[in-house]
Structure 1
């Protein structure tokens, strides 16, 4: 089974955690070209196209200016992203064997690097899927990556048993020909809801935390059978058979009423 997670907007250039080995991203050349084009934008341009404040725009202007410089910090993707999902992954206590297992069974989306393995070395960056780079014509990042990633991703899933546990946000489907993926492999999408006003509701922060916790559980316990996902329990979230089907596994926090 392969787990798919979304990249995080927040990143770090340093970490105290060490990994047993490092790998190079498979789309390193594409990332280099994208970063080169991003480096042509001014701070004001970045503020507009990334929809960020001036402080974040300046930070990422500096990142892109230094992207190709010798000695610029790199980290394994597993450690570079610092969003809520990745905090819950908590890789500081991973063993060598668990890091190796994660390398084969976890994939991370990236608008800059396409599709990452946990131990792929990456530079800090910020990019959005709707960004259109001048040299790409009218293509945004979703369109740019779709033809490049789909075959590679399907091949990864098949090598890992032919099952995808999709814990990425919905927008990340746009990076792939998702119909092909659903046709060629089995896709299971866990959903996390809380009871609110008598019905299931999504609370983004809980969803992100649960995705991180479930991914950690899958990697730590080497879960290969989707049926085993149903036993996942965390902070009140429990599998709800009545709301689930073979494609969507629904986990509810609280009781109906």
Structure 2
């Protein structure tokens, strides 16, 4: 099985975790060109583009200005992102074999880098899917990447067992021709809901935690059978046959 996961907005500056190897992102050239465009923007323009406050805009304007510096550090993608999902994956205790397995089975979306493997080296950045850069012909990042990423994702899934476990956020579907993906491979999208009274509700923080914990479960357990997904449990979340999802 292949796993699809969203990137995070927060990133680390360094890591003490050793990895068995590192690789280059498949769209490193595209990321470099996009970063050049972003480096040409003022702090005010970055603020408007990313819809962030002045402090975050200034930080990211500096990131892009120094993106191509020789001493600008790079980290493996799985260790670079520090959002809730990645905290729950907890790769700091991964063995070398765990990292190698993750490298072969985990795909991480990125609005700057397109589609990443866990050990692809990346710089710190911030970008949004609906951002329209000056030299992209009026295309959002969603539109920019869709024609580039769909074939690659399908290639990876078909080279495996034809099954994609989609643990990415809903908006990430827009990076791909999702109808084509669902037509050509089997897509499983686990849902995590909480009972509130007599209704099931989605609570974002729990959903993110569960996505990270399930990713860890799949990677550490070397899970290949879709039915084994139903054995996943975490903090009271478990498979509910009647609801057809994981509930708490």
Q: Which interval holds the TM-score relative to the shorter structure?
A: over 0.9
Corresponding residue number in structure 2 for 1:63: 63
Structure 2 gaps, min length 5? none
Q: Matched residues in 1 for 2:246 and 2:178: separation? A: 23
Q: Cα offset for 1:158?
A: 1.0
The match for 2:34 is 34
Alpha-carbon distance in structure 2 between the residues aligned to 1:14 and 1:66: 16
- Counterpart Cα distance in 1 of 2:119 and 2:60: 23
Find the counterpart in structure 2 of residue 247 from structure 1: none
SS at match of 2:242: helix
State the SS of the aligned residue for 1:92: helix
Q: Deviations over 1:123-177 (max 9, x none)?
A: 0000000111111111100000000010110000111211000000000000000
Structure 1, unpaired ranges of 5+? 245-249
TM-score w.r.t. length of structure 1: 0.95
Q: CA deviation at 1:3?
A: 0.7
Corresponding residue of 1:236: 236
Q: Could you tell me how far 1:196 is from its partner in structure 2?
A: 1.0
* Cα separation, 2, equivalents of 1:106 and 1:141: 22
Matching of residues 1-257 of structure 1 within 5 Å: 1-244=1-244, 250-253=245-248
Deviations 1:165-198 (A, max 9, x none): 0000000000000011001100000011101132
CA drift at 1:95? 0.9
Distance 2:92 2:133 in 1: 37
Cα distance, 1:252 vs structure 2: 0.2
Q: Distance in 1 between matches of 2:80 and 2:173?
A: 22
TM superposition shift of 1:225: 1.1
Work out the CA distance in 2 between the residues paired with 1:169 and 1:50: 18
How large is the RMSD of aligned CA atoms in angstroms?
0.6
1:51: how far off?
1.0
Secondary structure of residue in 1 paired with 2:36: helix
SS of residue paired to 1:155: helix
Query: CA separation in 2, counterparts of 1:201 and 1:47?
Result: 33
Runs ≥4 in structure 1, deviation > 6 angstroms?
A: none
**C-alpha distance in 2 between matches for 1:208 and 1:216:** 13
| TM superposition score normalised by structure 2 | 0.99
